[in-house]
Amino acid sequence: MARIYNFSAGPSMLPEAVLIKAQQEMLDWRGSGMSVMEMSHRGKHFMGIAEAMKNDLIELLAIPANYKVLFLQGGASAQFAMIPQNILNGKTAACYVNTGAWSTSAIKEAGKYCEVKIAASSEESKFTTIPAAEQWRIDPDAAYLHYTSNETIHGVEFNHVPEASGLPLVCDMSSNILSRPVDVDRYGIIYAGTQKNMGPSGVTVVIVREDLVGLAPKSVPSVFNYEQQAKSDSMLNTPATYNWYLLGLVLQWLKDEGGVAAIEQRNIQKADKLYRAIDQSGLYSNPVAKDCRSRMNIPFVLSDASLDKEFLALAEQHGLSTLAGHRSVGGMRASIYNAMPEAGVDALIAFMAEFERTH
């Protein structure tokens, strides 16, 4: 069966080379006589896989030596709670920027642990903008400032690192990590689930500056404690071993492709093409302000919503899958992460033009 172009927001397309490699190594990982799934996480084979994977991530993101890199479970959603649990450090408030559905979820969860001060919000614009920096109100007594660098549902992306007024800057990079270079040293914490740009679901990468490690009160469970996880190299309990291995294969693929700067150029090219096609059409439109449109998740609506069902069904027949927008916003959404080939975007644009011509 031919592979489709899968525009899912995550879990999403993986590079074909990664899937082929995983298949080749499925029964016998490099002469070990077993699958990675069957290996002890403490054995020499898996320890080697884990070390190479971590080193590749450090290299790809140029992570400075004063950061701990953790590979945890519970998804980015667990981090919504773990961040306040770990770094409030006796403070009672944290600042959050609300730019869409995922910021809103992070805010809701943090509210269980501290007072959440909304530094800025684009809710009034229905999350189609990023509030201008001069409108941000950052409380200097807050423990940290949290934002979401790419809103997967609303298709809004920061193309700059916000100013945190001296607070540790905490960022949910779930849906754009490794899609563009990032100055890690501007951040206190970067976290991201793997299921978009890094592999299948099941692992959460947490990059945390050393001064924010070791601040959690004793009541925080061990597996949720950054310090304990860092001390045990994220092996406080049995890690998601096979997913770590697949993450490693994706990172190796990204290095082979030329790294983050090279993939950024391809991402710009893919996104520019698709936005151009949408903006030039009479049928499709994207509501997001041009200076903060996401390169990863491109929502669009048809001017006649009664055509939505037919659009989706026909797209599916053309091997263009999972284009429905998130259930909370409707319309369409094309997620075009690192692994989406430019040919997939070209096929989508051609399909959209033909659909418009015939409708």
Closest CB 135 distance from ligand PLP, rounded Å: 22
Name the active-site residue from 29, 54, 56, 102: 102
User: Which among 13-21, 73-81, 138-146, 318-326 is the span making contact with ligand PLP, rule CB under 6 A?
Assistant: 73-81
Closest CB 24 distance from ligand PLP, rounded Å: 28
Would you count residue 102 as binding ligand PLP (CB under 6 A)?
yes
Separation of alpha carbons 235 and 348, rounded Å: 42
| Single-letter amino acid code for the residue at 69 | V
Number of residues that bind ligand PLP (CB under 6 A): 11
Closer residue to ligand PLP (CB): 81 or 93: 81
Phi-psi bin for 30: left (phi > 0), alpha (psi -120 to 50), beta?
left
**Residues with Cβ within 8 Å of residue 187, at least 6 apart in sequence:** 161, 168, 169, 170, 171, 207, 209
End-to-end CA distance of the chain: 30
Of 76, 205, 246, 251, the one binding ligand PLP (CB under 6 A) is 76
Closer residue to ligand PLP (CB): 114 or 177: 177
Separation of alpha carbons 29 and 44, rounded Å: 13
Q: Which residue is nearest to ligand PLP (CB)?
A: 75
Closest CB 151 distance from ligand PLP, rounded Å: 7
Of 56, 109, 172, 227, the one binding ligand PLP (CB under 6 A) is 172
Separation of alpha carbons 120 and 145, rounded Å: 11
Asked whether the beta carbons of 227 and 214 are under 8 A apart, the reply is: yes
Site residues for ligand PLP, 110-149, by CB under 6 A, read 148
Is 211 among the annotated ligand-binding positions?
no
DSSP line for 192-246: EESTTTTSSSS-EEEEEEGGGTT---TTS-GGG-HHHHHHTTT-SS---HHHHHH
Closest CB 57 distance from ligand PLP, rounded Å: 17
- Contact residues toward ligand PLP (CB under 6 A) are 10, 75-77, 102, 148, 152, 172, 174-175, 193
Q: Which residues are catalytic?
A: 102, 172, 196
Binding residues for L-glutamate: 42
